[in-house]
Each structure stands twice: as structure tokens, then as C-alpha cells.
Amino acid sequence: MTIRLARNSGFCFGVKRAINLAGEAAEKYPETVTLGPIIHNPQMVTNLESKGIMAIDSIDLIAGRPVIIRSHGIAKEKMRFLETLDVPLIDATCPYVSSSQLYATQLSQQGYPLIIIGNKDHPEVVALQSYVEENEVYIISSVAEIPRKKFTKLAVLCQTTQNVTTLQEIVYDLIPIAKELRVINTICTATTVRQQSTFQLAQESDVMIVIGGKNSSNTRMLYQICKKLVVTHLIETSDELECSWLSNKQNIGLTAGASTPDWIIVEVYNKITKCLGDKEEPIVNVESIPGYKEESNARQ
């Protein structure tokens, strides 16, 4: 019987950075707000609330408090408006997301119609779209949504948590309809390595447990990858894990999204060992889980 964690599971560089910036803000100010959840993990958002960092969903609710810009970024007009307010601004936008926004601005200034591959309702994509100037922009998530027309020139950007296979499929079908095609692969490295290591572990497992916010795009992507290969369950916390999922399974695989805190991964691991009748003391660090590999804090 094995229980293994996919390499590169849990917090990515951008999320660690956002949480650190929020922690510094909590020490400096008695109360701070984030426009929307700072990351897509409800348990972490609750944890931050206990430190005086409140998620609000409207600029009208700022009430003079310092504002943290979440890792997914916010729309350009909202950012410009916030800059006119007399409140401290802490920009925790992930540098990968800022980089996509810069590409959107530059490519639209160069006259490229744009295709953004992603979920049109996701805050990162909504924000990214706001950086496209007057140009045509299409937000699509599959080959079926490619516009049925010809382009003299066309540029492609992606939501940072997209799947590289989807990007490849869409680009393949765009080549015949665009005379000039510029593709910027804005999928972040943290996403790619999580998807690769999860794919590999899922191939070697009898069941996969994906841990992360159900509102987290990158977590849901890991779930999609696993469920094509093996029986897979998506949970936010250990309370949702059912021992019956593990019966007759020899190789249990765990993976976690880029916004899943270590403590939740540890709780799930301990619940699994309890389900399996292990009498050992529970572990306290994610480093104790076989397969864990620490990721560099440096931008990848």
C-alpha cells in the first residue's frame, strides 16, 4: 500500500507571494481588504479573515481601508480608480498575470485581434480582457468556439492555468484561418509542472484525491486530468474524504492545487492513514509525505 503526493503540489510562487504580502499588511494595518478572495481557497480566506484581512466584492465597501490586489489581478479601470483613492494599495497580482496583461496591451496596440483561451467568467480573464484596447477580442475555451472567419493577423494569449494540450489544439486549428499568427504561451510554469506531475502520479495510482478550492481553476484542471485516467475525488478538506473510497486500493495518489495550504494536505494525509487503520502518530509537516518536493520560491 502506498500513499504518495504529486511533486509540486500546493502553494505556487504567486500564491506564496500574495499570502506573504497579505501577512505583512496584517502586521502593519489593523484591517485590510481584498477585492474578491485573495486566492481561490475558502479555508485560507477564512484564515486571513481571522487576521483582519477581509474579502469584499465591491469598491464601494473599501471604507478607507488599505486594499490588497489579489493574485489574479483586477480590471484596468478598477486599478486606475483605486489609484485615485487615498488608501494604501498592496499589489499582490502574480507577476505571471501582470506579464499577460502587458502582452494584451502591447499586442492590441500593434493592431492584433486577440484570442484569449480561458474561462470568460474567471477574474483573471475578466481583468486580462480589460487590457485589450479597441481591438476585437474572443474568449474561448475549446476548438469548437473558434470564430468562423479569416484573419490577416491574430494573436493568442492564455489564462495562466490553462492546459497546454488545449492551447496546442486551438493553435493547430487557427493556422488555416490566420495569415499571421502570434502565440504567446502565458500558461505559467507552476501550472505546467503541477499538471505534469499530477498526470504522472495518476498513471501510477488506483485512486486520486485532488485537494483544493472547488472555485479554483487550476485545482479543477488537475481534477480533469486525473479523472481521465483513474477514479478521482475532488475535496476541499479532510471532512469530505470518505474511507470507502480507499477500500481495495493499493496505490493512493494525492495532489493539490496551487492555492491549497499545506495544513489541509497534511490533514487529508492523516485522515487517509486513519482510514487505513494506521496506529502511527499523525504527521505534522507536508515534507513527511512521500513524493513531496519543495518548490523554489524564485519565479519559475
Dihedral of alpha carbons 291, 161, 237, 74, sign: positive
**Which of 5, 6, 15, 208 is close enough to bind ligand F3S by CB under 6 A?**
15
From the list 13-21, 29-37, 76-84, 168-176, the region that binds ligand F3S by CB under 6 A is 13-21
**Which of 3, 5, 12, 268 is close enough to bind ligand F3S by CB under 6 A?**
12
Assigned C-alpha cell, 149: 472567419
Based on the shown chain and the rule CB under 6 A, indicate whether residue 258 belongs to the binding site for ligand F3S.
yes
Least gap, CB of 133 to ligand F3S (angstroms): 23
Report the DSSP beta bridge partners of residue 155: 114, 182
Least gap, CB of 276 to ligand F3S (angstroms): 32
Based on the shown chain and the rule CB under 6 A, indicate whether residue 14 belongs to the binding site for ligand F3S.
yes
Indicate the residue among 108 and 162 with the shorter CB distance to ligand F3S: 162
Q: Scan residues 58-97 and list those touching ligand F3S (CB under 6 A).
A: 71, 94, 96-97
Indicate the residue among 113 and 123 with the shorter CB distance to ligand F3S: 123
Assigned C-alpha cell, 104: 494584451
Helix (H) or strand (E) segment spanning residue 115: strand 114-117
Question: Which one is catalytic: 24, 83, 124, 267?
Answer: 124
212 dihedral zone (left: phi>0; alpha: psi -120 to 50; beta): left
Report the distance separating Cα 5 and Cα 232, nearest Å: 14
161: nearest Cα among 263, 292, 4, 15: 15
Report the distance separating Cα 163 and Cα 188, nearest Å: 10
Report the distance separating Cα 62 and Cα 87, nearest Å: 9
The question of whether 24 is a catalytic residue gets the answer no
- With cell 492546459, the residue in question is 163
Based on the shown chain and the rule CB under 6 A, indicate whether residue 104 belongs to the binding site for ligand F3S.
no
Least gap, CB of 131 to ligand F3S (angstroms): 15
104: nearest Cα among 127, 140, 128: 128
Assigned C-alpha cell, 227: 479523472
Which letter does DSSP use for residue 245 in this model? G
Measured CA distances, 128 to 122, 140, 147, 160, 265 (Å): 10, 13, 19, 11, 31
Based on the shown chain and the rule CB under 6 A, indicate whether residue 218 belongs to the binding site for ligand F3S.
yes
Q: Scan residues 147-176 and list those touching ligand F3S (CB under 6 A).
A: 160-161
Q: With contacts defined by CB under 6 A, how many residues of the chain interact with ligand F3S?
A: 15
Based on the shown chain and the rule CB under 6 A, indicate whether residue 44 belongs to the binding site for ligand F3S.
no
Based on the shown chain and the rule CB under 6 A, indicate whether residue 13 belongs to the binding site for ligand F3S.
yes
- Closest residue to ligand F3S using C-beta atoms: 14
Least gap, CB of 97 to ligand F3S (angstroms): 5
**Which of 53, 190, 211, 252 is close enough to bind ligand F3S by CB under 6 A?**
190
Please report, as ranges, the residues that interact with ligand F3S according to CB under 6 A: 12-15, 71, 94, 96-97, 160-161, 188, 190-191, 218, 258
Residues serving a catalytic function are: 124
